[in-house]
Amino acid sequence: MANESIKSAVESLLFVWGDPLEAKACAELFNLPTADMIRIMRDLMQDYEERGGGIRIREVGKAYQFYTIPENDDYIQKLVTPVRTRRLSQAALEVLAVIAYKQPVTKSQIDGVRGIKSDRVIEGLLAKGMIEEKGRSNAIGRPIIYGTTRKFLEVFGFESLKDLPEIDDVETLILGGEEGYDGPAQMSEELKDQIAMDLDEDQ
């Protein structure tokens, strides 16, 4: 394999690997002595230096990695600054709590716990991929039943539904244990602290 072809392949490896790529591991891919691979890596480093672009290669021990030159830091920061986020609404958190703890559950059951209709909220959570239809109930009218998705677990950091915080009943958690309350459900501060989170605008 010609030297330039090896350099081209190594360049691709550095790009996809991300972390420092050890010369020894790279040399094994090409059946070359480690010393030869170090020489090739350093030749490639020199190529990038002479090119004068925004990307260079640095040597970390006997490993190599792409990096960007400091002169471009301001532009990179502008690009990677987190996009404007929004929090899940109070209603969305309430519905997620009901579904998470009572699934599979119908819309009427969700409405019964919250004390208010949940149609629009359910539509929004379906669109975000946080919940999904799990089939239909055998009750009269065969209403749709809902459950949480894998995305719900990923977003809230759970490996499975077994990781949900233990509670006595979801109604108490949502209503915050307030006696005599007869209006729309208000999620307790405890649950807000446990599962309130930011979502990107495009989710």
The total domain count for the chain is: 2
User: Which of 35, 58, 79 delimits the end of a domain?
Assistant: 79
Q: Which domain holds residue 144?
A: 85-200
The answer to whether 147 touches 131, Cβ cutoff 8 Å, is yes
Based on the fold, state whether residues 19 and 73 are members of the same structural domain.
yes
Based on the fold, state whether residues 47 and 113 are members of the same structural domain.
no
The CATH number assigned to the domain holding 46 equals: 1.10.10.10
Based on the fold, state whether residues 94 and 175 are members of the same structural domain.
yes
Separation of alpha carbons 41 and 126, rounded Å: 50
User: Which of 79, 107, 140 delimits the end of a domain?
Assistant: 79
pTM for the full predicted model: 0.47
Torsion of CA 168, 172, 177, 178, to 10 degrees: -160
pLDDT by position in tens, the chain (length 203)? 678 899 999 999 999 888 889 999 999 999 999 999 999 999 999 999 999 999 999 888 788 999 999 999 889 888 876 655 556 788 888 899 899 988 899 999 999 888 888 999 999 999 989 999 999 988 888 999 999 998 888 877 777 888 888 776 555 555 454 333 333 344 444 444 444 443 443 33
- Distant-in-sequence, close-in-space partners of 121: CB < 8 Å, separation ≥ 6: 89, 91, 92, 94, 95
The pLDDT value given to residue 173: 52
The pLDDT value given to residue 84: 52
